[in-house]
């Protein structure tokens, strides 16, 4: 094993992403349960009187704990991997920037304008963190050398760039032009979602390939 720190780090980042998939599934279930029972999820009174409110509360706790665990796994993974490649160090810096933006957004939660801009900062931080994680893996793949893994990781990075750029552009358009049309917002949302799903799957696969390569 040439880069033990990077291996342990990338493995933790990969585990963090798997946990976030489970969190997303739990989130979907919390939406499906009320819908299946004819309850509007935005109706707080109806939800508080629903017989399944205990289940929803338990699922919300599970999702929150899962997201917290995933966050720490991802952060610890990047911190560890930075010892073997400087790209992971940059990923750590932008991750910390995203954390700072989240804190600012939470403190001044009543400022809609500030929260919109902080949301963009958080999105960009997530992009660059993932970008430099993949760049770090590609850099290490070149040192092995493992051209197959390097090529796949760089391909995944390209999709990631496209996905986040599309998301940022759509957010800018929605915020600057104050788009209110539900149809337009739905079309924009679906377009972004499709690209995001593809890029996320490739990102997860790239992490897995990088983990397997670094285990050698």
pLDDT tens digit sequence for 23-77: 888 888 887 877 777 766 666 656 666 677 777 788 889 989 999 999 999 999 9
pLDDT of 178 reads 64
Left (φ > 0), alpha (ψ -120 to 50) or beta: where does 85 sit? beta
Asked if 118 and 104 touch (Cβ cutoff 8 Å), the reply is yes
pLDDT of 190 reads 73
Sign of torsion, CA 137 131 13 92? positive
Asked if 130 and 199 touch (Cβ cutoff 8 Å), the reply is no
Interatomic CA distance for residues 95 and 88, integer angstroms? 10
Interatomic CA distance for residues 169 and 41, integer angstroms? 29
Phi and psi at 50, nearest 5°, equal: -70, 145
Coil vs helix vs strand at 144: coil
Coil vs helix vs strand at 41: coil
Q: Higher confidence at residue 117 or residue 192? A: 117
The mean pLDDT value for 112-120 works out to 79
For residue 141, what are the CA distances in angstroms to 65, 78, 91?
34, 17, 17
Q: Does the predicted TM-score (pTM) go above 0.85?
A: no
Helices (H), the chain: 4-36, 44-49, 53-81, 86-107, 112-143, 147-176, 182-214
The number of residues making up the chain comes to: 216
Asked if 88 and 3 touch (Cβ cutoff 8 Å), the reply is no
Is the predicted pLDDT of residue 214 greater than 80, yes or no? yes
> What is the Rg, in whole angstroms, of the alpha carbon atoms belonging to the chain?
19
Find the angle CA(132)-CA(211)-CA(23) to the nearest 5 degrees.
75
């Amino acid at each position: 094993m040439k880069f033990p720190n990077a291996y342990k780090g990338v493995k933790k980042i990969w585990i963090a992403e798997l946990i976030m998939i489970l969190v997303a599934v739990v989130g979907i279930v919390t939406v499906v349960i009320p819908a299946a029972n004819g309850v509007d999820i935005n109706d707080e009174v109806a939800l508080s009187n629903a017989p399944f409110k205990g289940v929803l509360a338990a699922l919300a706790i599970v999702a929150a704990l899962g997201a917290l665990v995933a966050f720490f796994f991802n952060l610890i993974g990047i911190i560890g991997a930075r010892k073997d490649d400087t790209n992971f160090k940059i990923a750590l810096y932008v991750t910390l920037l995203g954390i700072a933006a989240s804190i600012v957004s939470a403190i001044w939660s009543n400022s809609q304008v500030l929260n919109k801009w902080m949301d963009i900062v958080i999105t960009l931080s997530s992009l660059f963190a993932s970008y430099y994680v993949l760049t770090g893996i590609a850099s290490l793949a070149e040192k092995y050398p493992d051209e197959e893994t390097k090529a796949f990781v760089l391909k995944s990075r390209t999709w990631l760039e496209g996905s986040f750029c599309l998301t940022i552009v759509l957010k800018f358009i929605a915020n600057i032009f104050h788009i209110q049309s539900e149809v337009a917002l739905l079309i924009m949302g679906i377009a972004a979602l499709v690209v995001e799903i593809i890029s996320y799957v490739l990102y997860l696969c790239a992490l897995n390939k990088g983990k397997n390569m670094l285990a050698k």
